[in-house]
Structure 1
Amino acid sequence: MYDLLIIGAGPAGANLARLIGDDPNNLYKTVIVDKRALDQPSDYRRIKSCGGLLSPDAQHMLAELDLSLPSYIMDSPQFFKVRTLDFDNQIERDYRRLYYNIDREKFDRHLFSLISKRVEKIPNTIVKTIDPMDGYWEIELVQDNKSYKIQARCIVGADGANSFTRRKIISSSRKAKYFSIQKSYEATQKLPYFIGVFDSDITDYYSWMIQKKDSILLGTALPCTEKNPHLKFDLLKQKVNAYLGLNLEVEHAVEGAFIERTFHPNDLLFTHFTKTPNGEKLPLALIGEASGAASPTSAEGISYALKTSLYFYRALTQSSRHNYKHILAGYERRCHVIRNNIAFKTVKSPGMYHPKIRGLVMRTGFTAINKKLQASSPLHLSQTSCGFYKKRTFP
């Protein structure tokens, strides 16, 4: 019998397991399960579809957790601005942003490697069923086509957007509203910046381009209701090829993943109790994207993953042992700051995703890099009271 079962070993689950394992006063027998073979150098069967950028918020959380990144995790190039292409309004702007360009698979494996041996790790394993019993959860696991069952007093769901744990335990739980398609191409020119693309003909969210050494990632976030996702992606590729003069043809890989986009703070779910036939309440905590914690403006989730895992750990260590009602109440209370943060970003969202409002904001040059280009530049400059924005012939 385990005290805690953590399902999912991404940044949220791995960080929680690391914190619990490193605690000299830890009283909880803990196990962490993940479908990826994170104990191996690589697992090409299951790769997390991610742009691999660490935002300033994620960097702040790494500092708070005293976590450093080994050099082999860093990717190239490292860039210091975002190039924003608004195809709806035919405007291009540059903005200063400091992201760390990383290899996401290596990042996840690094965090997994930091988990102490005092926490049992079960990689390359699928959670098949989760059933409430009298006083504990019973979980069926499948590894190498062999199934077996384990028991745990409390489950921590850290299995990302469209969480299986959340949907399996809470029948009324909502599903993810967006998914991503991301393809890797041979780089035909250098892109020393992160490119964000807004085009309502493709999606009501956004698309992106990121260079990774000799490859370029092109991706888009589409509603799960989209009936022709590959046609939308082909349209995106056609437009960026034409506008940027690229030749994205030699395809290396195709990836996909669900994306959490929380439109209202009430959509967040951090804790839940399931009542058993004998009246007991079995505890469930959700951390990271499984709770809905992700930026509604950028879909950034690593900072929230690290933050929610830290909040749950603090609630765990500041409560009496096995008092899960008190533990989950403490975790819920700490997560109020996340609800407020996402509520604020939801208010900001129309400034990015309503085409007319976004057009007004970009034309003002608010927070943009205002610079005069050389006279020989092929770009036409339209001057505003706040600076310049570049104009090309948009597709």
Structure 2
Amino acid sequence: MKAGWITSIVVSFIIVGAGMVSVYLINKEVPNQLKAESAIAVVTEEKADEKPEMTKELKEIIRDVQKVVVKIEVPGGMGSGFLYNDKGDVITNAHVVSNVKDVRIIAADSREFDGTVIGISSDTDVAVVRVPGLAQSDFLKVSQNKADIGEEVLALGSPLGLQNTVTTGIISGVDRDFDLEPYHYEDVYQISAPIAPGNSGGPLVDVKTGEVLGINSAGTNQGAIGFSIPLSNVLSMIEGWSKSPMTILPETVAATETENEEYNYKEPLNTEVAEYVVHYFYESVNYQDYVTAYSLLGSEWQQETAYKDLRNGYLQTESVAIDEITSTDNGDSYTVVAIISAEENIEGTFRYSKYRVTYKLGYENDQLKILSGDAKKID
């Protein structure tokens, strides 16, 4: 069933995704699923020649897109959406708002608005929500072109309730067809950017142009594979609803209400969210977005560690895989422990090392932050 449990925890995440209410975990319908760990980077104290950071242009694209991506809350669930015109119309997935008419919209700046479903398909996983309070706001430009395999993309949304999260990847497949009752997915993109509960309905964005390519809609339960509906395939239907809103909405039967119990959305444990934040912190560093990584640290850690010191500490890390990760709920804080295998460039020589990293996480101003941490090398 759909479940929602948390208001904005993390705002302005840059860079990894990821379903919503009933994120569609595709198991039987999509064969040959892949399993992949998130790319992780680890702190080292040595300094090296600086790598180029994320370009200014890409940072601006992400900031501009984030401004118009929203979280959608319905009774018992949540998802994502994005503004696409000056009427305040938000595009999302049909399974995000199935069998409801009135929803709550949370903007990137935490403002809350009432929204009304004005269009929804009973067989294509697409819907439109009108939000009068967001009329005349900025909106995303839609790409009229089809994407090709290998093109770099950004997936934005609120995976696990973490609003304004950005995951990166490529178009790893095209023309994918499958069914997840009651919806038929045809000619969709397969993407390497993960799709997790809460990301459904968010935009798939072209890294180079900032234009919307698709609607993130489904993810597998076996690693970093997601599926996105090409916006050009459904744009005429969306524009039709915008011009002539539906007066009677069709009822739908979600897969979670049939025999497919494995598709049920389960509210994540607090410890799972803490682990997700640690993963995301490292992925931001791996993508060389040190500003975002630094913003995830607690205020006390930031007072003790300057931004440039954190940045320099990661410059020698080439790639990292998480071998193990565990977490503990301490009541008012969380402890996350991970065993990490790191590839590091030490004076031109690549070396592999293992680390045991331990982090304490807690809330500051309703945002989950990494309050403290250390890393010990394992011989």
Q: TM-score, normalised by structure 2?
A: 0.26
Q: Greater strand percent: which structure?
A: 2
Q: TM-score, normalised by structure 1?
A: 0.25
Higher RCO structure, 1 or 2 (CA under 8 Å, sep 6+): 2
Q: Which has the larger radius of gyration?
A: 1
